[in-house]
Amino acid sequence: MSELKLCQGPKCHQYQTKDRLKGMKDNKTYQTRRRSNFYYGNNNFCSWVCLNDWHSIYIEQALDHFGRTTEVKHLTEQNAWQKTYDWDNRTDDRVYVYRNGITKEERPLTREQYRDTNYTLNERG
């Protein structure tokens, strides 16, 4: 059996839906949702509502913890690379490319590179 994850919504158990009501006959309580897969917030929240509850409570702490943007950032040739894809009409496949939003230069990209969130041509800053 696969490991079940708990919804990280701080108020998940407060929403009184049938699927959250669990336990023995006379001892049922509304509980945090457990599932093998969630679709919201990078697989951490059972619903948009639970994700939004987390945001409402923790967004300020998260910004303070990870650092706020304190200066205007500028789009330059060095940080204008964006992953995108076109369709190859002959094969009906995606053709992945890096496209520079300033110079319009394109460079080929593999599907693995496209999906790898750490892979980038952008320089820091």
Footprint of Zn ion (CB under 5 A): 7, 9, 12, 33, 46, 50
Other beta carbons less than 10 A from residue 106's beta carbon: 14
- State in angstroms the smallest separation of the CB of 50 from Zn ion: 3
- State in angstroms the smallest separation of the CB of 46 from Zn ion: 3
Give the separation between CA 42 and CA 54, rounded to whole angstroms: 13
Nearest to Zn ion of 14, 82 (CB atom) = 14
- State in angstroms the smallest separation of the CB of 33 from Zn ion: 5
Give the separation between CA 116 and CA 118, rounded to whole angstroms: 5
Nearest to Zn ion of 20, 109 (CB atom) = 20
With beta carbons less than 8 A apart as the criterion, state whether 22 and 53 touch: no
